Amino acid sequence: MRMKKSTFKSILLIGTHANLFHKELANNSKVTIHTLKFKRKDPFSVDEPNQFIYNDTIIDFNGKYTLSELSFALSIIVEHHPGFEDCLVIGEPTELLYQAFGFAKNNQNPHLIRQEVQFQSLKSHDAFLFLYPSGMVAHNIRKEISSFVYLLKKYNRSTFLIRDKQESSSQILQNMLKKAALSFDLNILEVNGIEKLISNQTEFTS
């Protein structure tokens, strides 16, 4: 059986950590780069709501900063923006916004994660690239993101991890973009410093 390609059309930087690399990547990449951030409302302002910021577009959010409410709101936003299809989604897996986007893209209610697949998306083939959180040990990370990793396995989303060792995350991302310019097939995308955690070819049962 021929292996299905896992490709991406654009890069989506989600959250505080990922957006630190936006300027540098945008200046050195031919790949389209989008950004998604969350701005908390001013506690001293009565009328100002929380906001999602997608590139330069501001989207008001009146819900609570919880996984379920964020993912529900993002699922509506994702449905109306074609730029969210076939993304390499980069972010820190401990950031709630990043996790919520993963649940939104897979039409998965966080409270029903252990149930069978609800709505399998056939339109978008996303991959996720984790930035290693600074100051955390691996054991703590695994515990904090266990449901999120379960989600990505459940929907067979290719998932990668950057570990900061000899090279900085910025340099590793630059190397990745150079390889991606030659081949967008993530199944053969081998870059020093990037570790594959989940393959979209992995058989998975809940």
Does a structural domain hold residue 1? no
How far CA 116 is from CA of 109, 127, 154, 158, in Å, comes to: 11, 21, 9, 19
Residue type at 140? N
Does a structural domain hold residue 51? no
Does a structural domain hold residue 46? no
Does a structural domain hold residue 40? no
Give CA–CA dist 63/50, Å, rounded: 8
Give residue 180's domain range: 10-35+86-198
Token couple for 77 = 């936003």
Does a structural domain hold residue 126? yes
Give CA–CA dist 37/55, Å, rounded: 8
Does a structural domain hold residue 72? no
Residues 65-117: tens digit of each pLDDT: 999 999 999 999 998 888 888 888 999 999 999 999 999 999 999 988 877 66
Write down the pTM of the prediction: 0.83
Does a structural domain hold residue 188? yes
pLDDT band per the 50, 70, 90 thresholds, residue 10: confident
Looking at the 3D structure of the chain, how many domains does it have? 1
Residues 120-145: tens digit of each pLDDT: 555 567 889 998 876 655 556 677 78
Does a structural domain hold residue 153? yes
Give CA–CA dist 3/121, Å, rounded: 19
